[in-house]
């Protein structure tokens, strides 16, 4: 894990991104006044959402989109 200060990160952003993208560095920590404040990681390593994991667990009521006169009256009241 490589650590750079903010000034170096701004001056060398292209090369830092290249290092991460090509795998030379897994992540680069950017520091401000000696304190870590950001992490540069390759986008490909970002967690991916898995679609369909809740399939069959959620149902929608048949009258989900039906008009409720009480709620309509609340919106139309002046």
Q: How confident is the model at residue 31 (pLDDT cuts 50, 70, 90)?
A: very high
Identify the H or E element spanning 40.
Answer: strand 35-40
| pLDDT score of 37 more than 60 | yes
Residue 3, pLDDT score:
97
48 neighbors 69 (Cβ within 8 angstroms)? no
Give the whole-angstrom CA distance, residue 76 versus residue 5.
Answer: 58
Q: Residue 49 corresponds to which tokens in the numbers above? A: 């959402």
pTM for the predicted model, two decimal places? 0.55
Strand-pair partners of 39: 29
Q: Could you tell me the CATH superfamily of domain 1-43?
A: YefM-like domain (3.40.1620.10)
Residue 46, pLDDT score:
61
Mean pLDDT of the chain: 91
- The residues spanned by each domain of the chain are 1-43
Residue 45, pLDDT score:
55
């Amino acid at each position: 894990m490589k650590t750079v200060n903010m000034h170096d990160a701004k001056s060398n952003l292209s090369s830092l991104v290249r290092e991460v993208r090509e795998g030379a560095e897994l992540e680069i920590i950017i520091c401000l006044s000696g304190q870590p404040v950001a992490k540069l990681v390759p986008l490909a390593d970002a967690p991916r959402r898995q679609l369909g994991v809740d399939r069959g667990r959620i149902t929608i009521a048949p009258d989900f989109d039906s008009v409720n006169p009480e709620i309509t009256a609340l919106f139309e009241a002046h």
